Chains A and B, each alone.
Chain A
Amino acid sequence: MSATALFYDAPPRTYGLDRLDMRGDNETGNDWSDLRDMVQGELARLDIPVRAGLRSVETQTGWNRGGGANLFAYRTYDAPNSGIDPVVVGVTILSDPAGESYVIRGDIAGETIGDIVFEVPAKAVVGWDQVARAARDVSQDLAARPNHVLDALRDSSRKA
């Protein structure tokens, strides 16, 4: 008795491929710098409506990592000479040690006093594409809230 074998032609299932963490073919490219640029691009949409409401506003942009975050990309809005605490609009991305599942958070908060003006509910996702999508969603949610930024910059109770 002996045995032999031939292949069947079985088409692979493609359902769920959005979770496939294949680097290099993602819409945000393959690295954190692309993701950071995307987030910054979305947050920058706040500039025009915020300046329209407060002409003297000064803006800074930046990013860092650490404290458990893979990326914290932010935009700061300051009403100079007002004594009111500047506002930071930021998106934070954290991952598990394996780099497989991520949590994306976004908020508008005081730079010095740390008060939370607005917070986007945290999103837990798996896979790089989902990270990019969630980061964009969170950024767009924040970018749609210039009034939160303006109200905070006009709130005299927030003097630092």
Chain B
Amino acid sequence: MTKEQFILDSIKPMAQYTFAFITSVVGIIDQHQGRHVGSGLRAIWKGRRVVMTARHVIEEAVKTRGFALATGYGKSPYVAHGPIDCDLVGDLAIYYLPDDFPDSAPEKQFWPEDRIQCSTERLTTDFLFVHGFPRVRSRFLHRVTGVASRSLPYGAMQRTEPLKQALEAHQFAIEFDPSGMRNIERDQEDFIDPDGLSGSPVWRIGISGKSRAEWSPALSLVVGFVTQWRQDERVLIATSAARLSEMKASHQLLF
């Protein structure tokens, strides 16, 4: 099996495995309407349930009437309240979920803390995987009173060549070309505007240094979060998960 074949075969299992951990951050328009503004990861951090996303996602979401988090199909979303820790440098946010956040359902889980890699180890020699919700097709559905979002599971290698605008030490770039992406239901190409992918977790799938026979999605590690899209250079920019451990609780957003 070639590397290309392995990678093609790994996307679907990674998508299925990680789907239970990703969430849409929905800006509240009114009590009946919401708008998807970004993506995030449900995780355990410092022993607590959190949602990790990009800081600018939260800032945009609270411009409306606050934001909500999906809690499962057919269930009312959770209307967020309370403080959010923000990283002013790395554009990250950690929302420690209050006690009234519903218990996890089978389809909504929390990514284990020990599988968040707070270093850049093996980033360049592993395959990177992004899973989130692009904004363009997120839409309000009157029938189910909710926001319907198609998730985008996407894989690529790290871009190691220098970019026009140099990366900060905490950032890394991921090859991203939205051409050829299809809506499975309609079997036609859709333009994927990755704006809504901001805050999406980035995994390295865990094949680096291992053989195909050893690999499973259970080896994957969260290594960062999408914070920018540079369309002209066809890359997504992510902030390394290493920034998470440097975040100061003093930078809080209250709403």
Interface set of A (CB-CB < 8 Å, partner B): 1-17, 19-25, 30, 98-101, 126-128
Contacts and interface: CB of A to CB of B under 8 A. Distances in A.
Given A2-B74, A127-B124, A25 B1 contact: yes
B192 A8 contact: yes
Interface string B174-197: 011110111111000010100000
B122 A100 contact: yes
Contact of A8 (B124, B125, B144, B152): B152
A1 B152 contact: no
A75 B150 CA distance: 60
Given A14-B7, A100-B209, 6 more contacts: A2-B144, A9-B184, A12-B8, A12-B155, A24-B213, A100-B208
Contact of B32 (A1, A9, A14, A24): A1
Contacts of B31: 1
Interface string B8-36: 10010001000100001010000111100
A13 B74 contact: no
B187 to A, nearest CB: 9
Interface of B: 1-4, 6-8, 11, 15, 19, 24, 26, 31-34, 68, 70, 72-77, 121-122, 124-127, 133-134, 144-160, 175-178, 180-185, 190, 192, 207-213
B125 A19 contact: yes
A13 B156 contact: yes
7 contacts: A2-B76, A3-B24, A6-B150, A7-B152, A9-B181, A13-B175, A98-B122
Pairs A-B, 9 closest by C-beta atoms: A16-B157, A2-B146, A3-B70, A13-B156, A21-B125, A12-B155, A24-B211, A13-B175, A21-B208
A20 B70 contact: no
A12 B156 contact: yes
Contacts of B210: 22-23
Given A98-B121, A100-B208, A21 B126 contact: yes
A22 B211 contact: yes
Contact of A100 (B7, B76, B121): B121
A118 B125 CA distance: 32
A98 B121 CA distance: 7
A23 B209 CA distance: 6
A127 B157 CA distance: 12
A144 B7 CA distance: 38
A104 to B, nearest CB: 16
Nearest to B73: A4
B15 A100 contact: no
Contact of A3 (B122, B126, B146): B146
A17 B181 CA distance: 20
Contacts of B146: 1-4
Nearest to B74: A2
A3 B124 CA distance: 35
A1 B142 CA distance: 9
